[in-house]
Structure 1
Amino acid sequence: VEVKTGGIVESDKLPSDVRKRAMDAIDALGKRVTVGDVASKAGLQLSEAQKALQALAADTNGFLEVSDEGDVLYVFPKDYRSNLTAKSFRMKIEPLLEKAKLAGEYLVRVSFGTTLIASIVIVYTTIIAILSSRSEEDNRGRRGRSYDSGFSFYFSPTDLFWYWDPYYYRRRRVRKGGMNFIESVFSFVFGDGDPNQEIEEERWKLVGQYISSNGGVVAAEELAPFLDVETPNKTDDESYILPVLLRFDGQPEVDEEGNILYRFPSLQRTATPQRSGRKEYVGKRWTDWVGQVERFLQEKKWQFSKTSSSERALVIGLGGLNLFGVIVLGTMLK
C-alpha cells in the first residue's frame, strides 16, 4: 500500500529533532521498520514515532507492508532522503541556518576574549596618554572626555549576550585537541556546559533498545539501572517504571510464579527477523546472552571548565591586569 498525500510536505510539520531521530533510526534499521522499531531505536514516544513514519512515508513514496506475523511495516526507498530534501524547503535551509548559527555563536565566544584584550590595550593606552599630557590641564580634560566612551564600552550592555551560548559544550565535545586562548577566556568564566544535557534522549534510547532486544517483556529491576531510582531499597516500589509504561505503551502482567512483568506489545512488533526468537527470555536470564546493548545509564562527570592550569593562570592574570587598569583609569578621570 503506497502512502500519498496532496502537495503539502507533511514532514515539515514534525519537530526537527523528532524527524532527524526517526530518519536516523530508519537508516540504521535498513529502511524497513515498524513503529516499535523506530520508537525503541530513537527513544521516541510511540505517538511521535507513528506520526513521523506516516509523514515521511507520505513525502517519500514510502509504502506499507504486512509481515507474516500480521505486523504493519513501513518501507522506504533507498533515495528517500534526497526525495524529501527535494520537496522540503525547510530541510534545504536547515543546514544553512545551523551553520550560520554555529558561526554566529563562535564569533560571540571569540569576541569575549578579544574584547578583554582590546579593553586592556584601550585602558593602558589611555592611561599612558593621560600621564604624558598632565603638563597641560586643558588637554588633560579633553583627553579624559575623549576616552570616556572607551571606558563605557567595557561595560556595554551588549556584554550580557555573551552569557548565552546553548550549544557551546556540544561543539566543544566533538572537537579534538585543546582550545585557543580566546576560547579559554569564555570557558574559564562561563564553563564548558553540562556534559549530560542530552542524557534524557540517551536514556530513552537505551530503555527502548533494551526492551525491544529483550522481546518486549522485562522485569522492573532490569530497567532500574537506566532510570532515576534514589536508593537500591526503593526498587521494591516499582512506581519508577511508570514513565516507561506511558512512553512505550506498556502494561503489567503476572507470570505463573507470581512475578510482575511488564509487556510492551508495540516493541514486540519488529521488522527484524533475527529478534523473533528472543521473546521467551525474561528477567535475569536476559543477562546470560545479551552483549550488544548497554545495561545501565552512566552520567558523565561535570567539569566546569576544561582549561589547563596555564590557561587559567593567564586568564586570571589578564583579568586582574584589566581590572587594575580600569580602577586606575577611573581614578584619573575623576
Structure 2
Amino acid sequence: MALKKVYDFPYNKVQSQVISAFRKNQRQGTVADVISVTGLPKYQVETVLPAVVNDCRGQMKVTDSGEILYHFPKGMARQSQASKLKQFVNVLAKVGAFLFKIWIVVMLVGYFLLFVLLILVALVASIALSASRRDDRDSGDGLLGMFAVSRLVEFVLLLWLYSGDPVVRKQKKTKPFYKAVFEFVFGSEPQPEAWGKMERKAVISWAQRNKGLVTLEELMAMTGKSREDANSFVSRLLLEYEGEPQVSDRGTLYYAFPTLMKTSQESREYRLPEEDLIPFTRNPASTNRWIVFFNGFNAVLSVYFLSGSLGWLNPHEAISIVYQVALSLGVSSGASYSGVHNLVFWILGIVPALYSLLFFGIPGLRRLNERRENLLIKLRNFRRKVVARILARPKQIELTVEPDSERNASGHPGQERQQLQESILREVADQRPVEVIGEAPHFYFAVPELEAEQFDLDKIRAQVDPSKFSLGKVVFDSGSSEPV
C-alpha cells in the first residue's frame, strides 16, 4: 500500500509543493533541499522536477561535488497558470485582427471603386457639358475638363493592361488578392511551430548518432541559441522526451535521452538549415506595386477632395470638375449644400486620408521591428558558426569566422565583429577560464576545461553499449494469426 502511494501520487499537488520549496529556498536548491522542505519521496520530486524547470523557466548548474543545482533566475511564476488567460487574450486578438484585416481590404477596394466611379460620372458630365455648349469659349472649358478626366481614366486602364498578360494572370495560381493585402500590411504569417519542429528534429538526429547524449554547448552549436535560451530549450526537451540531466565523475554535465535510442531504423543525419531573414512580404513584386497604386490613388484623391472642401480649388477651373460633381450628386439627393460639403470633407477627404496614412504607416513600423528581429536571426546564425569553431578545437580557437551570406552577417566587419566573436566565446566558456595565447595580431584563445569535458564525454559515449537499446526479437504480431 505504501509503495502505491509513492508511485501513484497527485502530480499537480506535488508539483505545487516542489515550487513552494524552491521559493522558500531562495529559488534554488538540490533534490535533497526539496525533500528536506517538503518531506516528499525522492521518486516524486525527481518525477515532477522536469515539469517544474520547464514551467518556471529554470536552469541547472553543477557543483564541484557533481551535484545538480536547480535555480530559477526569472522567479517561480508558472507559465501554465497564465496560459488560459493568455489563450483568451490570443483569441480576442485573432478575432480583432481578422476584423481589422477585413476592414483594411474593404476600405482599400471600396474607396478605389468609389473614386473611379466619381471620375467616370465627371467624365460623362464633362462630355454632356461640352456638347450642350455652343459658345467656343465655353465649350473649351468643357472639353478641357473632359480631357483632364479622360487622361486620368486612361492612365488607370493602362496600368491595368500593362500589369501582366491577362491570360497569364488567369493561369498562374497566386494567393487571393485580399491575402496579399493582409501580407503587405501585416507581413508574412510567422510559423514558430514549424521552426521548433525542425530544431527538435536536428537535436533528435544528433542524440541518436551520439549514444543519446547531448551537451548544452552542442545545443548552442546546433541552434544558435544563447546559453540562457539553450537552458530553457533543454528543459523542454527533457520533459518532452523523458530525458534526464547527468553528471560524470569528473563533473561534466550532459543530458541523456535513452528513449530516443530505441528505434527500428538507423538514424539519418539532419542538420538544421540557417534561419531565413524575415522578408517585407512574399507577394510578387507586381502585386505589391498594385497595392501601392491603389492606396496611393486613394491618398491623392483624398487630398484632392480635402483641397476642394477647404476652398483651394477654383470652381471655374477644369480640375475641380470631379469635386463639383460630388457636390452636385449630394445636393440632387435632397441634402443641403452645407451638409454635402461637410460630408465630402469627412467621407471623401479626412477618412481616406487617414486610412491611407495608416495603410502605409503600419508596414513601416512593422518593418522597423522586423529589422530588429532580423538582427537577432543573423546573430543566431552567426553564433552557430562561431560555436562550431570553438567546439572543433577548444585549445586552439582562432576567431576568424566570416559570414558567407546575408543571413549570418551579424555585426559590422572589423573590430565589432571580432568583439562579437569574443563575446560568444566567453558565453560558451561560461565559468571556465579563457586563455589568450600569443600576441596580436597572431594569437588565439583556449578553453582547456572545455576540451577536457569533451574528452570526458567521448569516453562516456564509448562506454555506452548500443545493444541495450536494441528492440529485440518480435514476440507478437497483431497482423498475423500464427505464433511468432
**TM-score scaled to structure 2, two decimals?**
0.33
**TM-score scaled to structure 1, two decimals?**
0.45
Larger relative contact order (CA 8 Å, sep ≥ 6): 1
